Structure 1
Amino acid sequence: MSAPQNCLQSPPLKAVNLAQTLTQTARRSPHGLAVIHGDVRWTWRELDLRASALAEELLERGLQPHQCVMLDGPNSPEFIQAMFGVWRAGAVIAPVNSRLHASDIAQLSELCQPAVMIAHSTTESHAQASADSVPFDQPTLWLDGEGEGSVGHYTEPVHTVRDYPVWRGDHAWYFFTSGTSGRSKASVLTHDQMGFVVTNHLADLMADTGDTHRSIVVAPLSHGAGIHMLPQVARGAATVIPTSSGLAPAEVWELVERERVTNIFVVPTILKRLVEDSSVEKYDHSTLRYVIYAGAPMPNADTRRARQVLGDVLVQYYGLGEVTGNITVLPPHHHDHPSPPEVPFSTCGYPRTGMQISVQDDKGKEVPSLCTGEICVAGPAVFSGYLNNEQANAESFRDGWFRTGDIGLVDEHGYLFITGRVSDMYISGGSNIHPREIEEKILDHPAVKEVLVLGMPDPEWGEIGAAVCVLEPGVTVQEDEIRDWLKTRMARYKVPRSIRFWDELPRSGYGKIVRRTVREMLLEQTA
C-alpha cells in the first residue's frame, strides 16, 4: 500500500538546531553548573562559550555545513563541548564508542565520510585507521592535551558564533547501531526529530527535571547516555562525569551522595553491577528520583534486586537507536503490572507520548491482543532512514511502519511484552523457539548469574538450543542439574541440549552481550 499524497504543498520549514538547548539555558542560567568532572566545574556560560570557540575553529578550518565530524573518546567535558560546537557550526556529529577496534572505526568512517575527526590520545590508533580509510580535510582535533589542536584550548570565541540555521530533515547525529549481530549501520537522526525526543524524554521519563537536578553519566556519551544528556541541558540540570576510565561503582555512589544526583541512565548490565556492589550500602543515594534503564531486556531477578536496593525509582524504556529510545515507558509505579499467564517475564511498558505500536504478522496485518508478532512503530521519534543504505531502508519499513525486528505481544491494557528478536529465534525439529523465555527460567536458578541461549546447527534437528551460563562466584553446578531444573518449568522441546559454563560472556563496547561472538566461539569449540 502506497502512502497517500499530501493535499497541501507546504514550503520548506525551519527546524531548531540542537545547539539551541545550550544557547537558551546559558541565557537563562549563565552561572548555574553545567558539567562536573573532578575539579572541573563549568557553568552554562562557560560551556556555551567553549562550544562557540570550537565552532569558530571548525569553521576557520573550512568545515562546511552538513559535513560530518567523527567524535571518538571517553566521556569528558570536552566531549560535550565538541557535540555542541559541531552542531553550532551546522555540521553533523558521528560519535563512536572509544572501545571499538580500529578496524570497526575504519568501517564507520567509510560509511559516514567525516571531514574532521575529534579524538583522544587513547584512541590515536582509531584516528589513524580512520585517516587511512577516509582522508580528512583537516588535521585531527584532540579531546585532551593542551595548546592549539586540543578542544580544551578553545575557551572563548573571537567573534560571535550563532547556531547555524537548520531546516526540517537536516541531519544532526549519525547514530551507529552496535553491530552485535552484523555490520554496523548509521541511523540518521535529524534536528527536528531530536527536538521531539528531548521533549518526550522530559515528558515521559523524568517530568520534573529542572536546574536544581543533577545527572550522572555511567555509559558512553557516544550512545544512549549522550541522548539522555540533551534533556538535562534543555532544563539546566548539571551533568556529572566520573573520573574513572571504566565503571567504578564506589566512585559512582560517592558522587551520587556528594553531588546529590537525582537521575542516572544505565543499561541493565551496569545497573546490575551498581546494585550488587557493596559500596551501594556505604553512600546515601536517597536523592535519586529516576534510575532510567534501557538498551536490553532486564531479567526479572535483576529488576527485583534493584528495586529492593534503590526503592521505587526505576524507569524503563524500550527503543532502538532508530527510534532514539522512544517506543515505550514503564514508570516506577507500573513495575508491578501483571504478565499474562503464558508470558514468563515483565512488561517493558506502554507507548510513549505521541508514539504508536503495532504488533504485526508476516504480511503486515496487526494481530489481536496477546498474540505474538513483530513489533512495529510509528511517530515523530522514528528516524529518517539509514545513511547510504537503501536496501536496509527498504527492509526496515513496511506501509510506513518501522519494523523493529523484535518479537512481542500487547496485553488488553496496551502494555508491551518483548519475547525476543526475529534474528534470535531458532527452529528445532520444526518448532519455533525464542531464547528469552529459556534465559529467564535459567536465571531463576540460584547458581546462575548470567546466561545466553541461542540456536546452533544440528544435522538431525536443524538447530538445537545451546545455553552458555556464567555462575555466581564460588558456586559449582552440573549441566544435568540445570537441565532437570528446566524440565519441570517448561516444555521439554525447549530445554537446551547443550549447556556450557564460561567465566564470562563477551560484550560489545556498549556493554551488550555479543551473540555473534558467542556463536563463533561455540562453533570453534565443536569443530
Structure 2
Amino acid sequence: MTSLDQAPAGGVAPVSKRVMNLSHFLRQVARRYGGEIGFVRGEDTWTWAELDQRVDAMAAALAARGVKKGDRILVQSKNGNQMFESMFACFRLGAVWVPTNYRQTPGEVAYLAQSSGASAMICHCDFPEYVAAAREAAPAIRFVVSIGASAFGEDYDALVTQHSGQSVPIASVEHDDPCWFFYTSGTTGRPKAAVLTHGQMAFVITNHLCDLMPGTTHRDASLVLAPLSHGAGIHQLVQVARGVKTVLLKSDRFDADEAWDLVAHWRITNMFTVPTIVKMLTEHPSVDAHDHSSLRYMIYAGAPMYREDQKHALRKLGKVLVQYFGLGEVTGNITVLPPALHETEDAPGVKVGTCGYERIGMQVSIQDDQGRELKAGETGEICVCGPAVFAGYYDNPEANAKAFRDGWFRTGDLGHLDEEGFLYITGRASDMYISGGSNVYPRETEEKILTHPAIAEVAILGVPDRTWGEVGVAVCVLRPNATLNEPELLAWLEGKVARYKLPKRVFFWDALPKSGYGKITKKDVRAELEARGCLPLDQPAQASA
C-alpha cells in the first residue's frame, strides 16, 4: 500500500487520502430511487431500497461473526442477487471481496482460498465439494455462508432475515485500501490476485460512464451475460453508480432467444460481453424476432473482435458497438473505440483493426524489451500508466517486479500506435512464434481465415518444427452445413498472407475450448491437440474431427 512518507518540497504535511467507500453508491441510489427496481432475475425483482437493506443486514451478520476491515471473503456462486449483494456487504465493512469463476474446479478454488488468505466463505448450495476443498487448503476460513439450504453453512437469506433492520457504520477507507481481489485467468501459470482499491475503482467507474456509456441515467437497464465475478461485476458496479437496473438471465445457461426477449421486455440499453457472445447473439435467428431498438451500447472486451464478426453485428444492430481494451489489472481502462468509429465497410479513413484511442486519464506507451519507447507504426509491448492501474498483485513480489518497469504496467500484449494515437493489437507476446527466423503473429492469419464463408471460428498457435523452429497449426470450426478440408483452405490462403505465415496443418473440430468468460483459450486448444494425437507434428496425426 502507498503512503505519504514525507512532506513534499512545498512543505505541506502528509494527509490521509480518505475516499468514498464504494458501497456508498448503493446507499446513494437507495435514497434517490428507493422504490424503483434495481435488480431482476426471472420473475423476481428487488428495489434499490430492498437491496440496500439486505446489504445492511448481511454486513451486520458478517460483522457479528467477526469479519472486519481488511478480511478477505471468498465467494463461490452463480449469478444471483445474493452474489451481487455480497460485493456491497464486503465493501461496507471494508473487507475484500474475492469472487471466483463458479465454473472453476474445486482444486482451483481451493488455491484461491489459500492464496488470498480468506477468513470466510460465501458459497452457493450447489458446491459443497468446493467448501470442503477450500477449508482444507485454507484452515483460516472460520465460517461459511450458504446461498440456499445446505449442510455446510448458515443460510444466506435466513441471516438476512435474522439481521433485518440492523446496520453497521460504513467503514472509512483510503484511496489504496483494497476492496476486490480480481484474479487473473492464469493463462501462463497460477492465477494471481490483482488488488483493486476503493480509490482506483472510483476512477474506473467514472471513466466507464464517460468513455463507454455517456448519458447513462437511472432510466437505463443493463443485461448481464457473463459471471459477475470479473468484468461483468465491474460493469454492474458502474450501473449501480447511476441507478441502472440490472437484469439477469433466468438460468446459468446462455440462451440467445431469452437474451433478446429480455432486451425487448426491459428495454435494455446496454450490455457487456465478449466477442464470441456478440457473435452468437447476432448470428442467432432470434435477433430478428425481438425488438432491440432500445439498445444503445453493446460493449465488448476481453479480446479484439474479428473484423468479419464486427461487420455482421453492425449490420444486425446498427452503430451500437463499443470496444474497450484493458486487462483485469487495469480494469478495462486502456483504450476505447466508440460507436461512431465502428463502420460496416472498409472505406478510406476507416481504421480497420484498431481497438481505439487512450481512455481519459490513461497513457499508452509501446516499448521494446529494454523499455525504450518505440515510434508510431513500430510493434512492441503495450505498456500503460494512469489511475486505473491496479495496486499490484497480492503477496507476489516476483510477479510485481515483472509486471512493472519504470512505473509502467506491462500488459504482455503486443501492438503498435498509429500517428493519431490509435492502438492496434498484434496479439499476446506468448502467442507469437518464430518460423524460419521471422516473427509470426497468429491474429493476422486468423483474421484472413475468418473471411472464408465456411469458417465460423479459428485459433492458430505455434508448435515446434525440426526444419523451421516453429510453425503454425490452425484449428477451425465450420459454419452449419459447410464443408471444407485442409488442402482447400491452404490453397485458398495462398497469396492472401505471406507463405511463412501459412499454417503447416489445419484441423477441423466441432467446437473450440473456451474459458468461463467465453474466450477461446489457446492453452486448452494446445492440450486438446496433444490429447487427440495431433501433436507433435512429426508423429502420425490421428483423426481431427
Partner of 2:157: 152
Partner of 1:86: 90
In 2, Cα distance between equivalents of 1:232 and 1:439: 35
Write the mapping of 1:33-432 to structure 2, written as runs, cut at 5 A.
33-145=37-149, 149-153=154-158, 154-155=160-161, 157-336=164-343, 346-432=353-439
Write the mapping of 1:477-488 to structure 2, written as runs, cut at 5 A.
477-488=484-495
| Cα distance change on mapping 1:75 and 1:431 into 2, 3 Å | same
In 2, Cα distance between equivalents of 1:180 and 1:75: 24
Shift of residue 520, structure 1, vs aligned partner: 2.2
In 2, Cα distance between equivalents of 1:55 and 1:119: 16
> Over residues 445-497 of structure 1, what are the superposed CA-to-partner deviations in whole Å (9 max), with x where a residue is unaligned?
11111000010011221111111111112222111111112221111011011
Instruction: Single out whichever of 503-512 and 292-301 deviates more from structure 2.
Output: 503-512
Structure 1 stretches of 4+ with a deviation exceeding 6 A read: 337-341
Question: One-letter code of the match for 2:134?
Answer: S
Q: Is the 8 A contact 1:93 1:174 kept in 2?
A: yes
> Over residues 33-84 of structure 1, what are the superposed CA-to-partner deviations in whole Å (9 max), with x where a residue is unaligned?
1101122211111000000100000000111210100111111011111111
In 1, Cα distance between equivalents of 2:382 and 2:312: 28
Question: One-letter code of the match for 2:486?
Answer: E
2:23 is the alignment partner of 1:19 = yes
Q: RCO higher in 1 or 2 (8 Å CA, sep ≥ 6)?
A: 1
Q: Is the 8 A contact 1:67 1:115 kept in 2?
A: yes
| Cα distance change on mapping 1:39 and 1:336 into 2, 3 Å | closer
Instruction: Single out whichever of 434-443 and 516-525 deviates more from structure 2.
Output: 516-525
Question: One-letter code of the match for 1:268?
Answer: P
Instruction: Single out whichever of 516-525 and 126-135 deviates more from structure 2.
Output: 516-525
Write the mapping of 1:467-478 to structure 2, written as runs, cut at 5 A.
467-478=474-485
In 2, Cα distance between equivalents of 1:521 and 1:313: 36
Unaligned stretches of 5+ residues in structure 1: none
Q: Percent identity?
A: 49
SS at match of 1:501: strand
Equivalent in 434, 439, 442 of residue 435 of structure 1: 442
2:500 is the alignment partner of 1:493 = yes
What value does the CA root-mean-square deviation take over the aligned residues?
Answer: 2.0
Partner of 1:503: 510
SS at match of 1:56: helix
In 1, Cα distance between equivalents of 2:60 and 2:346: 54
SS at match of 2:143: coil
Question: One-letter code of the match for 1:251?
Answer: E
SS at match of 1:140: strand
Question: One-letter code of the match for 2:250?
Answer: T
Q: TM-score, normalised by structure 1?
A: 0.96
Aligned residues: 523
Unaligned stretches of 5+ residues in structure 2: 537-545
Question: One-letter code of the match for 1:463?
Answer: E
Q: Is the 8 A contact 2:125 2:150 kept in 1?
A: no
In 1, Cα distance between equivalents of 2:435 and 2:98: 41
> Over residues 247-302 of structure 1, what are the superposed CA-to-partner deviations in whole Å (9 max), with x where a residue is unaligned?
11111111111111111001111111111111111110100111111011110011
Question: One-letter code of the match for 1:355?
Answer: M
Question: One-letter code of the match for 2:356?
Answer: G
Shift of residue 412, structure 1, vs aligned partner: 1.2
SS at match of 2:412: strand
In 1, Cα distance between equivalents of 2:216 and 2:34: 18
SS at match of 2:179: strand
Partner of 2:541: none
In 2, Cα distance between equivalents of 1:345 and 1:122: 45
Q: Is the 8 A contact 1:456 1:465 kept in 2?
A: yes
Shift of residue 191, structure 1, vs aligned partner: 0.5
SS at match of 1:119: strand
> Over residues 368-387 of structure 1, what are the superposed CA-to-partner deviations in whole Å (9 max), with x where a residue is unaligned?
11111111000000001011
SS at match of 2:355: coil
In 1, Cα distance between equivalents of 2:290 and 2:521: 33
Question: One-letter code of the match for 1:47?
Answer: L
SS at match of 1:349: strand
Q: Is the 8 A contact 1:373 1:409 kept in 2?
A: yes
| Cα distance change on mapping 1:112 and 1:273 into 2, 3 Å | same
Q: TM-score, normalised by structure 2?
A: 0.93
Q: Is the 8 A contact 2:314 2:344 kept in 1?
A: no
In 1, Cα distance between equivalents of 2:167 and 2:524: 50
Q: Is the 8 A contact 1:205 1:315 kept in 2?
A: yes
